[in-house]
Amino acid sequence: MSDSSESQRPRLPDKPALEGLETKWNDRWSAQGTYRFDRARTRDGVYAIDTPPPTVSGSLHIGHVFSFTHTDVVARFQRMRGKAVFYPMGWDDNGLPTERRVQNYYGVRCDPSLPYDASFQPPDKPAKPPLSVSRPNFIELCNRLTHEDEKVFEALWRYLGLSVDWSMTYATIGKRAQRASQTSFLRLLKRGIAYQLEAPTLWDIDFRTAVAQAELEDRELPGAYHRIAFARPDGPSTALGASGHVEIETTRPELIPACVALVAHPDDERYKPLFGTSVITPLFGVEVPVKAHSLADPAKGSGIAMICTFGDITDVTWWRELSLPVRAIVQPNGTLRPVTWGTPGWESRDAARAQAHYDQLANLSTARAQPRIVEMLKESGSLIGEPRPITHPVKFYEKGDRPLEIVTSRQWFLKTTDFREELLARGSELKWHPDYMRYRYENWVNGLAGDWCISRQRFFGVPFPLWYPLRADGSIDYDRPLFPDEAQLPIDPSTDTPAGYSPAQRGAPNGFIGDPDVMDTWATSSLTPQIAGGWLDDPDLFARVFPMDLRPQAHDIIRTWLFDTVLRAELAHQSLPWSHTAISGFVVDPDRKKMSKSKGNVVTPMALLEEHGSDGVRYWAARGGPGTDTTFDPGQMKVGRRLAMKLLNASRFALMADEPRGAITEPLDRGMLSSLATLVDEATSGLEEYDYTRALERTERFFWSFCDDYLELVKARRYGDFGMAGAASANSAMLVALSTLLRLFAPFLPFVTEEVWSWWQSGSVHQAAWPTASEVVQAIGGADPDAAAILAATSNALAEVRRVKSTLKKPTKSVITKAVLSKQVQGLEPAARDFQAATHIRELRFDAVEEPQLEFEEPAPQESRG
């Protein structure tokens, strides 16, 4: 705030308005580089934000507007405090959602066996049936469509007023991201932290890909308990004698052909005699052992369970720990694979009967096989009673439509469980806002069930950067992979050729073949601090921003994005990726439901911004505190807009007569500034602690009483009714207050504050220094608590008089010839002149009265009602 800037004559509009401010100021900020990151600054002068890259395959919704506003408030506050704010935007255009959108949008499907067609152009309308295109062509379409989406997103973010440095934008499918992701992977592979394994894996049968533990969710589905008899080998072969069979209960009878054992708890007296013996599976006549394992729950079902390869995760645990054989029947597409009974691994006491039964199930989906096998079980007498319907939680891929299966396949993993202690330590080192969100992280780390499966059998993603040699017989030698040099990265092994081979050797005996998989999208987005910060490409930048200050994100992805990012930083840098994380809540509709398209309660953000103004919408968003689910409430947006409007008009009032100026001597002026200094401290400490809601609420409350009480009380004096010195005191105080309040509101209402600032200041309010209490009280030579008390007493007295006038239905302007006020508001005497002018009181006294005693001037006799 230099003297030269304040000496400008204010340029005031006759009728200030909010319309058009978004476009006007975005153009200026863009042209002037207002939010450009100053990369000359060293780490301690930088505030770095690891912005969540929105998924561009969808559309931005009100929840994005909500949480990104919170981050922007913090960014603007830190910038005004003098930090160089590193605030890039990222686009998450990598992964399944994009694939799905591209398939539908263009009517194409990826066929990795096709060669690249350089002249390919997508059809104008979605093709039916879908066109098959090569993987490189498919990826081109993904890039083309996401680029369009990104332009729309950027326009919305700018309109909302995010103070992002748009020159630093990155994409999770971009070259930088691919290079970071592939480099990190190869380094982890060398250290033995990444590894490949053929093992039972959670599998989505529609997407035909492996998925990770973190991407699971439970859904309640109807099902049924089926009570099924397994015959004892020494018992009657078909009849169900009293001790001739064992009864299990299962919700998945279609997996009986995959049964490899029964299991009960080691202490379960009912089944102890059976341990070490075997039973015969119904329909298929397979002899399977009865085993003991502590995970078996005596209280569940009949207390003894069948182990199948594989019905659920527990089956996998039992299978591994009890060293059972594999008898897998579910194929990657979710159907039962044909089996020849009587061959090795499929031995049966009656192979012909087994085959006859199984032929009725082969190639059916598990869902369709179930009723079929139930009929057969009934016919054979192995089903005891009727199935008992239940609803039970079933594991789904969070983006999937059908229950997950477990399929054995070759996958890449990152070790996680080996680092549990380190990860817990990082979690407690991290500062969480709100603090209780840390429990979700700890909960997750403590519950890690296995390492992180990072490979996906998909097309649009970062490829695994390696190849495998082919043996003379054409089989793949997985044990001797071929690696590129780090300097070559990023590569695509489906088109690039490993050193020492020619392209013609791809797929040929003694040749090579690329790893077909792509990485889980989280395996790349867990490197956003490294990607955005220039880890490999720009080490100088990286040193200035990493570890970053803030990770803002929503609570539903603590187990994925937050956890994964902490893991990757621990593995690569032995540090936290950032010192703080701010967790935002969801936007819910007034019925407490999450806003969703299917409920028809979705509103497009741009329409809201246009209706209520960006400042109005930001006000609503900023009222939702960290971690708090917040109701979608257009009413609050209207309140925000009203606040912005009030800021325009109050500012106009303060600036319309800014002369004369002089010493701030009047008690009300001094009291107002004294209180303002207290407010500055409160707002500052709120924002420092990421409690932007408190800062806004306090500032807003001060501002309204500043308008309603203070400005009304000093209006007459300010207009010169009591001479030049009194007017000068008011004017000077108002200018200090206005400058301070505009800066306090600037992070929340960037458009209206910038507009008003431009009336009388040079430069951007968003580059102005954050106010300090000492700066405010400097204008009155130090804090003046006595004056603050006088202002409080005067405001209270004003309220008393207003109440009486209102009760008596007197016009506000009506003159009071004589007023007796209660002694409780007596402290106002030093401001009596201002007070009497504002209330039109001619003669003022104080006495022990409960209610103010007011005598009104007789109305003028000519008054008439017409």
Partner RNA sequence: GGGCGGUUAGCUCAGUGGUAGAGCACCGGCUUUACACGCCGGCUGUCGGGGGUUCGAUACCCUCACCGCCCACCA
Q: Is 559 in the site for RNA (CB under 7 A)?
A: yes
Nearest distance in Å: CB 721, RNA: 10
Q: Which stretch binds RNA (CB under 7 A): 362-370, 596-604, 629-637, 726-734?
A: 629-637
Candidates 367, 724, 799, 849: give the one binding RNA (CB under 7 A). Answer: 799
DSSP per position, 803-829: HHHHHTT--TT--EEEEEEEGGGGGGG
Conformation bin of residue 340: beta by default, left when phi > 0, alpha when psi is -120 to 50: beta
Among 9, 43, 420, 803, binds RNA (CB under 7 A): 803
Classified as helix, coil or strand, 694 is helix
In angstroms, give the least distance from the CB of 311 to RNA. Answer: 7
What residue type is assigned to position 825 of the chain? V
- In 415-566, beta strands by DSSP E: 431-433, 452-453, 455-456, 467-469, 512-514, 518-519, 548-554
Among the listed ranges 432-440, 526-534, 767-775, 780-788, the one in contact with RNA (CB under 7 A) is 432-440
Quick check: helix, strand or coil at residue 779?
Answer: coil
Q: Which stretch binds RNA (CB under 7 A): 526-534, 552-560, 722-730, 743-751?
A: 552-560
Q: Which is nearer to RNA, 594 or 842 (CB)?
A: 594
Q: Which stretch binds RNA (CB under 7 A): 82-90, 164-172, 389-397, 755-763?
A: 389-397
For position 295 contacting RNA by CB under 7 A, the verdict is yes
| 629 forms part of the interface with RNA (CB under 7 A) | yes
Contacts 24+ apart (CB under 8 A), 737-741: 737/654, 737/672, 737/673, 737/676, 737/706, 738/650, 738/651, 738/654, 738/655, 739/1, 739/771, 740/676, 740/680, 740/771, 740/775, 740/776, 741/647, 741/676, 741/699, 741/702, 741/703, 741/706
Interaction between residue 250 and RNA (CB under 7 A): yes
Q: Which is nearer to RNA, 224 or 476 (CB)?
A: 224
What are the φ and ψ backbone dihedral angles of 369, each rounded to 5 degrees?
-70, -30
297 touches RNA by CB under 7 A: yes
712 interacts with RNA by CB under 7 A: yes
User: Cβ(517)–Cβ(464) under 8 Å?
Assistant: yes
Nearer to RNA, 190 or 803 (CB): 803
Q: Footprint of RNA on residues 255-274 (CB under 7 A)? A: 263
Instruction: Give the residue with the Cβ less far from RNA, 148 or 386.
Output: 386
Which one of 372-380, 570-578, 649-657, 679-687 is the stretch in contact with RNA (CB under 7 A)?
A: 649-657
Q: Footprint of RNA on residues 588-617 (CB under 7 A)?
A: 588, 590, 592, 594
Asked if residue 791 binds RNA (CB under 7 A), the reply is no
Residues numbered 337-366 forming contacts with RNA, rule: CB under 7 A: none
Rounded CA-CA distance 824/852 in Å is 11
Q: In terms of Cα–Cα distance, which of 463, 453, 441, 466 is closest to 565?
A: 441
Give dist(CA 459, CA 94) in Å, integer.
10
What part of residues 145-174 is at the interface with RNA (CB under 7 A)? none
Where in 1-20 is the site for RNA (CB under 7 A)?
A: 17-18
Cβ contact 691:707 at 8 Å: no
402 binds RNA (CB under 7 A): no
Q: Which is nearer to RNA, 491 or 695 (CB)?
A: 695
CB-hemisphere CA count at 13 Å for 751?
A: 31
Restricted to residues 17-56, the positions that interact with RNA (CB under 7 A) are: 17-18
Distance from the Cα of residue 718 to its chain's centroid? 50
Among 152, 239, 326, 449, binds RNA (CB under 7 A): 449
User: Binding segment for RNA among 358-366, 576-584, 662-670, 801-809 (CB under 7 A)?
Assistant: 801-809
Neighbours of 813 (CB within 10 A): 7
Interface positions, 175-214, toward RNA (CB under 7 A): 213
Residue 551 to residue 533: CA distance in whole angstroms: 13
Binding residue (CB under 7 A) for RNA from 811, 823, 843, 857: 811
Element containing residue 279 per DSSP (H, E): strand 278-280
Cα dihedral sign, 566-569-573-577: negative
Which residue carries 């780090």 as its tokens? 486
Task: Tell me which H or E stretch contains 393.
Answer: strand 388-397
Alpha carbon 844 to chain centroid distance? 60
Stretch that binds RNA, among 88-96, 390-398, 474-482, 726-734 (CB under 7 A): 390-398
> Segment contacting RNA (CB under 7 A): 137-145, 550-558, 596-604, 831-839?
550-558
Q: Residue 66: name the closest of 582, 524, 488 by CA.
A: 582
Comparing CB distances to RNA, the nearer of 225 and 856 is 225
Binders in 479-518 for RNA, by CB under 7 A: none
Residue from 650, 677, 773, 844 binding RNA (CB under 7 A): 650
- Could you say which of 1, 639, 815, 832 contacts RNA (CB under 7 A)? 639
Q: How far apart are CA 276 and CA 236, in angstroms?
A: 20
Residue 474 three-state SS? coil
Strand bridging mode 578-584 / 431-433: parallel
Number of residues forming the site for RNA (CB under 7 A): 83
Which residue number, 631 or 822, has a Cβ lying nearer to RNA?
Answer: 631
Candidates 1, 127, 216, 322: give the one binding RNA (CB under 7 A): 216
Considering the rule CB under 7 A, would residue 658 count as an interface residue with RNA?
no
Q: How far is the CB of 4 from RNA (least distance, A)?
A: 26
- Asked if residue 631 binds RNA (CB under 7 A), the reply is yes
Among 54, 88, 90, 301, binds RNA (CB under 7 A): 301
